[in-house]
Amino acid sequence: MEKRLDYKGRWRNKTVAFHVSEEEGKLIDRCVSLSGLTKQDYIIRRLQCRDVVVQGNPRVYKALRNQMAEIYGELKRLEKCSGDNNELLYTIQLIAQTMNGLKGEN
């Protein structure tokens, strides 16, 4: 097993893996892309019940733009957003929170 030194000088040589459904995988990927973190850092922060603080950068803004375009297309397709569309509502809420947190940045 290869040893890896992280940015805090810790050796990371333990692998943790698990299976998720297609929907869970998409949700995790979406949350990771909107956070601006690596998937590893995002999952570790969430497992440790630490806040995920989004730092505005081009990658985060691009992810927000792409998600908003996808949501816009989905909303155009739907006549109304109902309780049956919890995944879409969760994504809208996540984007709104992220954008609200970025308001104070230039």
Give the tens place of pLDDT for each residue, 20-55.
999 999 999 999 988 888 899 899 999 998 888 777
More confident residue, 104 or 12: 12
| Distance from C-alpha of 34 to C-alpha of 70, rounded to nearest angstrom | 14
- In tens, the pLDDT along 68-92 reads 888 877 776 775 656 566 777 788 8
Nearest to 46 by CA among 66, 27, 65, 21: 27
d(CA 63, CA 32): 10
Q: Please tell me the pTM assigned to this model.
A: 0.57
